[in-house]
């Protein structure tokens, strides 16, 4: 089963939930798709690290073959090409490596070269296989890295926890595409509700089964609870606003490995999610 953990913005507790869920599962895989700011590995401190470069294809122009027709310039919606005094210039920083210009050039003046945009690291932390994607600073899109990350687990039968990028942009869509269930992490504030609504719209768009985890829960979480009630969304668990948890988290510790109470909380959360997936499967079979 593949569980994607999302939040409308960074710092909501998405990685806290992802890391602890993976820590209580049996022989799981944790996949950090938050490629602009991956930090799951800081908690797992994996050993036996292997690195693999991720490359994309960038166009290269052969000036002798270029006709100066500007077809490629007009085609590129990312403005990564310009024709200046009949010389074609490639702005590789904004090139999204879609390959279109190379296909349409009438004189085969464009070829391609590999450009490294980041890497994938993998290692082990106790029984957890930890795989992280890292986008190099200044690169425009982490989607090629996420595609490569998810290709690694496409046929996985193990429990997979996908730590998604924050927000609801196309990079998040890519991260949840293959997920069996989405866990939406929200804080019980007005801003938290606003962020929850964003990711809720996204999972509805993809028709993914989903539930909510309320992080930093206070005694009165009516904002999130009311929204979930109105929209018939299951509240999977509430993680209390707790200084011990905050301390463990800020020290880069995994609460479920350090505290019996948190081991129980996240084990129960995992069981609840498994039951939700089973329920969904029966309901749609």
Chain residues binding ligand SF4 by CB under 6 A are 59, 61, 66-72, 75-76, 78, 80-81, 88, 95-101, 105-107, 109-110
Residue with tokens 């890292």, as numbered in its chain: 134
End-to-end C-alpha distance for the chain, whole angstroms: 17
As beta bridge partners, residue 225 has none
Distance of closest approach, residue 97 Cβ to ligand SF4, in angstroms:
5
- Alpha carbon dihedral 226, 232, 236, 239, in 10-degree steps, equals -10
**Dist. CA 84–CA 213, nearest whole Å:** 54
Q: Which is nearer to ligand SF4, 69 or 277 (CB)?
A: 69
Q: Which is nearer to ligand SF4, 22 or 72 (CB)?
A: 72
Report which of 46, 45, 18 is spatially closest to residue 32, judged by C-alpha positions: 18
Report which of 235, 238, 246 is spatially closest to residue 217, judged by C-alpha positions: 238
Distance of closest approach, residue 135 Cβ to ligand SF4, in angstroms:
17
Phi, psi (rounded to 5 degrees) for 125: -135, 105
Distance of closest approach, residue 67 Cβ to ligand SF4, in angstroms:
4
Q: Which is nearer to ligand SF4, 75 or 227 (CB)?
A: 75
**Dist. CA 267–CA 105, nearest whole Å:** 56
Distance of closest approach, residue 119 Cβ to ligand SF4, in angstroms:
21
Q: Which is nearer to ligand SF4, 45 or 70 (CB)?
A: 70
Distance of closest approach, residue 34 Cβ to ligand SF4, in angstroms:
24
Count of beta carbons in the 10 Å neighbourhood of residue 36: 16
**Under a CB-based contact definition with an 8 Å cutoff, are residues 163 and 14 in contact?**
yes
Q: Angle CA(3)–CA(6)–CA(8) in degrees, nearest 5?
A: 170
- Running DSSP on this structure, what letter comes out for residue 165? P
Q: Which is nearer to ligand SF4, 22 or 101 (CB)?
A: 101
Q: Which is nearer to ligand SF4, 66 or 274 (CB)?
A: 66
Distance of closest approach, residue 106 Cβ to ligand SF4, in angstroms:
6
Strands 87-90 and 81-84: antiparallel
Distance of closest approach, residue 114 Cβ to ligand SF4, in angstroms:
13
Q: Which is nearer to ligand SF4, 76 or 160 (CB)?
A: 76
């Amino acid at each position: 089963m593949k569980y994607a953990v999302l939040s409308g913005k960074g710092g909501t507790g998405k990685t806290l939930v992802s890391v602890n869920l993976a820590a209580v599962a049996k022989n799981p895989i944790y996949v950090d798709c938050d490629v602009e700011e991956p930090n799951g590995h800081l908690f797992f401190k994996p050993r036996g690290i292997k690195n693999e470069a991720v490359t994309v294809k960038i166009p290269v122009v052969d000036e002798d073959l270029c006709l100066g027709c500007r077809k490629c310039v007009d085609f590129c919606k990312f403005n990564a090409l310009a024709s200046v005094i009949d010389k074609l210039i490639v702005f590789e920083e904004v090139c999204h490596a879609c390959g279109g210009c190379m296909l349409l050039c009438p004189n085969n003046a464009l070829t391609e070269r590999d450009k490294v945009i980041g890497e994938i690291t993998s290692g082990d932390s106790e029984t957890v296989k930890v795989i992280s994607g890292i986008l190099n600073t200044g690169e425009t899109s982490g989607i090629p890295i996420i595609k490569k990350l998810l290709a690694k687990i496409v046929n996985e039968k193990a429990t997979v926890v996908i730590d998604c990028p924050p927000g609801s942009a196309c990079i998040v869509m890519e991260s949840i595409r293959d997920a069996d269930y989405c866990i939406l992490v929200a804080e019980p504030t007005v801003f938290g509700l606003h962020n929850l609504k964003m990711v809720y719209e996204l999972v509805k768009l993809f028709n993914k089964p989903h539930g909510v985890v309320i992080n930093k829960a206070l005694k009165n979480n009516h904002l999130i609870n009311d929204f979930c009630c109105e929209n018939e969304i299951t509240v999977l668990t509430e993680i209390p606003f707790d200084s011990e948890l905050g301390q463990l988290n800020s020290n880069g510790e995994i609460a479920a490995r350090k505290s019996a109470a948190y081991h129980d909380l996240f084990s129960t959360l995992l069981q609840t999610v498994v039951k939700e997936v089973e329920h969904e499967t029966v309901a749609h079979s």
